[in-house]
Amino acid sequence: MDPVKNFSPRIERFPGSEAAKMAHCHRIRRVVFCDEQGVAADLEWDDQDPVSTHYLLYLNDAPVATARTRPYKPGEAKIERVAALKPARGQGLGRLLMERVLADLKSSSATEAVLNAQTAVRDFYTRLGFVPVGPDFIEADIPHVHMRLKL
């Protein structure tokens, strides 16, 4: 089966209080950030999950990608913890997820979206319209760049 031609993506948005869905988010983030990238668990798990809006992208009913947003500064929303499991990469699913996140933010009171992108995926966010701001920096032992997008 060709995964690019035979898939049915679905995206759900929910608050951090939905424990069963959060378990899926945590599993994806653990695999991608902790297991694959070596991010320490104490850096990955923070106090922002309960106050964030979360997204899960399902591929044929299996959760394969996640992201979260939260209020950051007046008029700004921060996008964080964007992750996709390896089998879901390279199929345009990350773009689908981010387009949904950005559409939701555009319909909110936020006028700008910000994120700290790993420099390895800077071009992915640039293609979505994000602009790098400031120099690269290290976060969780991984090079990052701060990026902004007017909504």
Q: What is the DSSP string of 27-55?
A: HHHIIIIIIIT---HHHH--TTGGGSEEE
Domain assignment of residue 105, yes or no: yes
CA angle, corner 98, sides to 24 and 51, nearest 5?
Answer: 55
The percent of residues in the chain predicted with pLDDT above 70, rounded, is: 95
Which range of residues forms the domain containing residue 35? 9-150
Does residue 4 have a pLDDT over 60? Answer: no
Domain assignment of residue 145, yes or no: yes
Q: How many CB atoms lie within 10 A of CB 82?
A: 23
Q: Output the pTM of the full model.
A: 0.93
Domain assignment of residue 142, yes or no: yes
Mean pLDDT, rounded, for 20-31: 97
Q: What is the pLDDT of residue 2?
A: 45
CATH number at residue 101: 3.40.630.30
Domain assignment of residue 65, yes or no: yes
Distance CA 35, CA 65 (A): 15
SS3 21: helix
Does residue 6 have a pLDDT over 70? Answer: no
Domain assignment of residue 61, yes or no: yes
Domain assignment of residue 4, yes or no: no
Domain count, the chain: 1
Domain assignment of residue 54, yes or no: yes
Domain assignment of residue 1, yes or no: no
